[in-house]
Amino acid sequence: MRPLHAIPLAGFALIALVFAVYLWQVGAGGKDISQIPSAMIDKPVPAFALPPIEGRTDGLRTEDLRGKVALVNVWASWCGPCRIEHPILMTLAREGVPVYGINIKDKPADAIRFLDELGNPFARIGADANGRVAIDWGVYGYPETFVVDATGRIRYRHVGPINPGQLDSIIRPILRRVAE
């Protein structure tokens, strides 16, 4: 084959290789291409101050998230996957990991009933009634969980419920790494 003829073929082979790798990642590798990376990684936690859920006295502010590695979980009682992930949060809370909650667009009675029924892993919960604070965090679906380090920087954002496999393969390693 003449050298000139080989050039388009080489170009095609290169592009095909890139596509093949990408397809493998999505297919066999289980990568979810609809998940977008967070724009808030390594940025400080946004300035916010959320009131407590009506009937409680805690609330959640930026200052609460400084001083130790913590998880911030955005949840609602009407969110199915939040319900499914809840036991994982209970496990982490029992192990001593500080877990904070942002309760999004929820009726106070429903949120309280959710916690009564499934347990309360949250050291503090802020009620984000109109979702504005969640937008400041770059949240686009529920649940989402953020890992915040001791200096108050967002280090990781997990989209969707944390399943037991991800707890061990993703969350725990990140908590360890960020604690150093």
Q: Which of 1, 3, 8, 116 binds another protein (CB under 8 A)?
A: 8
Q: What are phi and psi of 137, to 5 degrees?
A: -85, -5
**Binding of residue 76 to another protein (CB under 8 A):** no
Q: Scan residues 11-30 and list those touching another protein (CB under 8 A).
A: 11
Could you give the residue ranges of the DSSP H alpha helices within the chain? 3-27, 80-94, 108-118, 132-136, 164-166, 172-179
**Binding of residue 131 to another protein (CB under 8 A):** yes
Q: Which of 36, 47, 150, 179 binds another protein (CB under 8 A)?
A: 36
Q: Which tokens in the block code for residue 90?
A: 């209970």
Using CB under 8 A as the binding criterion, the count of chain residues that bind another protein stands at: 20
Kindly tell me which of 29 and 141 has the beta carbon lying closer to another protein. Answer: 141
Q: Which tokens in the block code for residue 7?
A: 């050039």
Print the binding letters for residues 89-128 with another protein: x by CB under 8 A, - otherwise. Answer: ----------------x-----------------------
The whole-angstrom distance between residue 124's C-alpha and the CA centroid of its chain comes to 17
8 A C-beta contact, residue 73 and residue 134: no
Q: Candidates 50-58, 76-84, 106-114, 137-145 — which segment interacts with another protein by CB under 8 A?
A: 137-145
Instruction: Please report, for residues 25, 84, 88, the alpha-carbon distance to residue 175 in angstroms, rounded to integers and kept in the order given.
Output: 25, 21, 14
**Binding of residue 130 to another protein (CB under 8 A):** yes
**Binding of residue 38 to another protein (CB under 8 A):** yes
Which secondary-structure segment (H or E) carries 101? strand 99-104
Positions that interact with another protein (CB under 8 A): 4, 7-8, 11, 34, 36-40, 105, 130-132, 135-138, 140-141
